[in-house]
Amino acid sequence: MNWFGESWLTPMCDPADRVATPAGVECAHCEEKIVAGDRGVFLNGDPRPLHFECFIRGVIGSVGHQKGACPCYGGSEDDPPGATRRKAARAAMEYFEEHPPEPFMEIRIPEQQLKDIARVVRRVLLGLLARHQNN
């Protein structure tokens, strides 16, 4: 996974994987153009970037999902009414920061997202192992 913009100080922000901000290219989630100063990622060789908040929303789900009120849970709430996809992604991130899940709480993540997360974790672990072996 490649990333751009300001680092969010996690192992996924390996300086070797940093790329130039793709200003003018549409985000794969919200379809708004990436601008200078945005941060985000390119996932698994996909040439379409994702804003950071759009990427995070894909992991944590909508506000409705985090509340357990979306169709996954038999409800009808999803993104805030009238919000653009990017504003909804920002709202999901803000809700998550204000209402962190309780420890050991079950978080349902779709299978494809679990596979994507597993690939990222594997890559990070292999990178750490390689560095350790080189030292």
What does the pLDDT look like over 89-98, one tens digit per residue?
Answer: 999 999 999 9
* Letter string b/e over residues 104-119, b meaning 16 or more CB atoms within 10 A of that residue's CB: eeeeeeeeeeeebeee
Distance (Å, whole) CA 33 – CA 25: 5
Q: Are 51 and 27 in contact (CB under 8 A)?
A: yes
Supply 46's token pair.
């996909």
What does the pLDDT look like over 15-66, one tens digit per residue?
Answer: 889 999 999 999 999 999 999 999 999 998 889 999 999 999 999 999 999 9
User: What pTM value is reported for the model?
Assistant: 0.72
